[in-house]
């Protein structure tokens, strides 16, 4: 954007309580607070809430919480008895802290926008992936593959940008954090398959989907995932998978081992988020960013 980031101090007291202080004049300003609620999720979420409260008490004109990765997004419904809907709770906390709007990227479930009682600008990273694929000339003989039924809409939009056909992995998840690939809906034979998902957590879904696609005759299998959570055995699974390349975004900082992995390439969301911030500040359309 050609502007310098504002100064703020984020530290902790001896008992572990987080302390923040904004070291800029913000009275009446249009303020954008950027903080992914990535691991450690609770700490980053608390930092964001305290920064919002500090800005509100400093009389900022408008406060936009820019959250490239929205943690707790997978806890978006009651899937068992006596469990919370944590995504809704976090949305309430952000609004109660004093945020006037939220800017985020690839929510795990688009309906989470409705959990907020303030405006939400929801960016899609598929434009970053598609621009990279086109620029590098990899869109020939490509088939875009959704790793599960929940990713079909996102994958379809990505396929439309590339002018590529769409296939879907039909899978069954027998228990939490485990997935069993059943079959491929659509043809991937003799094509370069490209999986698209919003995040990689343990990596099991992605790796099993990649193997199933390869077994169905795909020439190569690559993947794009916006948020590289990489928990548990994710890196081991990726290193031993059939994936030739994994494109991820910088919504979550990579651990040194992941950053050193030659199969993993990081694309930046900075230009996309920067342009969205500029448009919000100037009251221009954000949705027109994604007009194919």
By C-alpha distance, which of 291, 277, 287 is closest to 103? 277
Residue 266, beta-bridge partner list: 248
Question: Does residue 208 contact residue 228 with C-beta atoms inside 8 Å?
Answer: no
By C-alpha distance, which of 230, 272, 265, 234 is closest to 247? 265
208 is annotated as an active-site residue: no
| Residue 79 burial by Cβ neighbours in a 10 Å radius (0-12, 13-18, 19+) | exposed
Q: What is the dihedral of CA 62, 65, 68, 69, to 10 degrees?
A: -160
The phi and psi torsions of 181 (rounded to 5 degrees) equal: -75, 135
Question: Does residue 76 contact residue 108 with C-beta atoms inside 8 Å?
Answer: yes
Contacts of residue 221, Cβ cutoff 8 Å, sequence gap at least 6:
193, 194, 195, 210, 213, 214, 242, 243, 244
Question: Does residue 116 contact residue 94 with C-beta atoms inside 8 Å?
Answer: yes
Q: What is the dihedral of CA 127, 161, 153, 146, to 10 degrees?
A: -90
Q: Which residue among 56, 88, 171, 211 is the active-site one?
A: 171
Q: Among all residues, which ones are annotated catalytic?
A: 171
């Amino acid at each position: 954007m050609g502007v310098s980031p504002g100064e703020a101090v984020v530290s902790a007291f001896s008992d572990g309580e987080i302390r923040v202080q904004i070291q800029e004049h913000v009275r009446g300003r249009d303020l954008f607070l950027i903080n992914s609620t990535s691991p450690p999720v609770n700490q980053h979420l608390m930092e964001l809430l305290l920064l919002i409260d500090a800005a509100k008490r400093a009389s900022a004109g408008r406060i936009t919480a820019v959250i490239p990765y929205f943690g707790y997004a997978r806890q978006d419904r009651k899937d068992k008895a006596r469990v919370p809907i944590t995504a809704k709770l976090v949305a309430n906390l952000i609004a109660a802290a004093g945020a006037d709007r939220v800017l985020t990227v690839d929510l795990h479930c688009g309906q989470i926008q409705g959990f907020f009682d303030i405006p939400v600008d929801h960016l899609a990273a598929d434009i970053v992936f598609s621009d990279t694929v086109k620029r590098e000339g990899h869109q020939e003989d490509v088939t875009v593959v959704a790793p599960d039924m929940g990713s079909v809409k996102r994958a379809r939009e990505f396929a439309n940008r590339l002018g590529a056909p769409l296939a879907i992995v039909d899978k069954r998840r027998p228990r939490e954090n485990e997935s069993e690939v059943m079959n491929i809906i659509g043809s991937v034979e003799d094509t370069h398959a490209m999986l698209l998902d919003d995040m990689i957590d343990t990596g099991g879904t992605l790796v099993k989907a990649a193997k199933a696609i390869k077994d169905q005759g795909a020439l190569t299998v690559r993947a794009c995932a916006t948020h590289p959570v990489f928990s548990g055995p994710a890196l081991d699974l990726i290193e031993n998978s059939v994936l030739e390349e994994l494109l991820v975004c910088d919504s979550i900082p990579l651990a040194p081992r992941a950053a050193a992995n030659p199969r993993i390439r990081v694309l930046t969301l900075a230009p996309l988020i920067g342009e969205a911030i500029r448009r919000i500040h100037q009251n221009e359309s954000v949705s027109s960013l994604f007009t194919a």
